């Protein structure tokens, strides 16, 4: 059984966010994010700073308690920035490489159901993949065929920060089932993932795009080749 959530930590995050609330900026942020969840108008760097400060003031007793606290803040959020703060709390060193966090990230992606939340845990999923390659490769391969587009996007973007540690076979395996998808957020993710890997392995990315040119959307192709030679893009 997980330890109960640290309500003091949750309260510290919420209090810090409300201190910096900006109603005018909040209205613009909510419109930009097309969010039904209200915003406080707190800037992302400030949200990150507030979450880090709260975790220092109320240090988690264990990884299990921090997991429960993250989920408590996420599930009970009434403002979008509270959810950002919940994601920021998962950066705590206590949770680095903790495979028990996978269900938490999956819940965030599925229930958040928007690009900012899915992309917000992308780096955490990458860390899990590097720490547990066999287990996570199986999970991400399954995710790449999930009915939920945000889960599929998360699979595609899971190696954005891997650089030289990228597993190209896994990258291909999660992209290929989604090449014909007409959803903008999937096509954009494919191009983004390939563009990032092109910084490390440009020839591999060129070859992948050439092999799949008939299936790949113009958007994915353009994004994938953005940093490569102009001749390949024509």
pLDDT digits (tens, 9 = 90+) for 72-115: 999 999 999 999 999 999 999 999 999 999 999 999 999 999 99
What average pLDDT does the structure give for the chain? 95
Q: Write the CA distances from 126 to 28, 130, 131, 166, integer angstroms.
A: 31, 6, 9, 10
Q: Can you give the pLDDT at residue 9?
A: 98
Burial of 52 (0-12, 13-18, 19+ CB in 10 A): middle
Q: Can you give the pLDDT at residue 234?
A: 38
- pLDDT by residue (tens digit) across 16-71? 999 999 999 999 999 999 999 999 999 999 999 999 999 999 999 999 999 999 99
Q: Write the CA distances from 202 to 141, 168, 192, integer angstroms.
A: 23, 12, 13
pLDDT of 1 over the 60 cut: no
pLDDT of 151 over the 90 cut: yes
Q: Can you give the pLDDT at residue 228?
A: 84
Task: For residue 2, name the pLDDT band (cuts at 50, 70, 90).
Answer: low
Q: What DSSP line would sit under 145-164, residue for residue? A: T-S-HHHHHHHHTTTTTTGG
């Amino acid at each position: 059984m997980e330890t109960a959530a640290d309500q003091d930590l949750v309260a510290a995050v919420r209090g810090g966010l409300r201190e910096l609330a900006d109603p005018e900026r909040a209205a613009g942020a909510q419109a930009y994010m097309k969010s039904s969840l209200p915003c406080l108008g707190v800037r992302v760097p400030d949200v990150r700073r507030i979450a880090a400060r709260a975790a220092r003031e109320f240090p988690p007793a264990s990884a299990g308690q921090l997991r429960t606290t993250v989920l408590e803040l996420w599930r009970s959020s009434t403002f979008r920035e509270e959810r950002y703060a919940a994601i920021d709390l998962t950066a705590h060193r206590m949770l680095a490489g903790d495979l028990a966090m996978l269900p938490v990230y999956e819940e965030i992606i599925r229930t958040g159901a928007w690009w900012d939340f899915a992309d917000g845990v992308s780096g955490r999923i990458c860390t899990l993949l590097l720490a547990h390659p066999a287990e996570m490769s199986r999970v991400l391969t399954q995710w790449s065929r999930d009915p939920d587009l945000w889960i599929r996007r998360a699979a595609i973007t899971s190696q954005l920060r891997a650089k030289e540690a990228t597993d190209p076979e896994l990258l291909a395996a999660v992209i290929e089932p989604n090449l014909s998808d007409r959803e903008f957020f999937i096509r954009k993710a494919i191009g983004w993932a390939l563009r990032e890997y092109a910084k490390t392995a440009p020839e591999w990315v060129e070859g992948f795009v050439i092999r799949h040119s008939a299936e790949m959307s113009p958007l994915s192709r353009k994004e994938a080749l953005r940093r490569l030679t102009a001749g390949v893009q024509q």
